[in-house]
Amino acid sequence: MSLSILQRIAAGDQLAVADCMTQYNDLIWSLARRYLGMDADAEDAVQEILIELWSNAARFNPDFGSEVTFVSTIARRRLIDRLRKKGRAPGISTIDDTPESALVKEGEDISQYTEMQNVVDVLGEMNPEHQQILSLSVYEGYSHSEIAERLDMPLGTVKTKVRRGLIHIREQLKITEEGAD
């Protein structure tokens, strides 16, 4: 079994850093443009995200999700942190109907975008309350406490709904993955 790019980085493989940039640079840029627009701030954010990926590569565990999900999560959280520091709230538009073809350059591997789209599809099939809670948690970066306060809901209920929602998404993605084999 071969190691993933992040596992290779964690093991000290210097070539894996270049592979990481090749594999994930466009994904990170598309997220930065979506959150921050086309300016120097987006460029700075991309550099910070790549540095954080390299320094936290050892935290990646393939048992908890795919590498692209790990990269996307770190990128989103850094971008949301950046928006909060500037006093701008992250927009709900992070879950949109942008076709993968608009995010992927010709000849690029579409699998990472397809996986993200599968997550969005599963989320879209869930009841509106779960959609809202998971969107606030995963895409918007709100803590469970912030979600509970914002939705006027008990903290334990929020935690349970996030956990159940993530389990549901994971199960549905396994079914989708098994169906593709």
What are 4-58's pLDDT values in tens digits?
999 999 999 889 888 988 888 888 888 888 888 777 888 889 999 999 988 889 9
- 162/151 Cα distance (integer angstroms): 13
More confident position, 136 or 91: 136
The predicted structure's pLDDT at residue 129: 86
Sign of the dihedral through C-alpha 145, 146, 147, 150:
positive
What's the chain's length in residues?
181
pLDDT tens for each residue of 95-131: 444 444 444 444 445 555 566 667 777 777 888 888 8
Helix (H, G, I), strand (E, B) or coil at 74: helix
For the chain, how big is the Rg over CA atoms in Å?
Answer: 17
- 83/181 Cα distance (integer angstroms): 40
The full set of domains in the chain, from first to last, is 1-90 (1.10.1740.10), 103-181 (1.10.10.10)
The predicted structure's pLDDT at residue 128: 83
φ/ψ bin of 141: left (φ > 0), alpha (ψ from -120 to 50), beta (otherwise): left
Given a cut of 50, is residue 78 above it in pLDDT? yes
Given a cut of 60, is residue 2 above it in pLDDT? yes
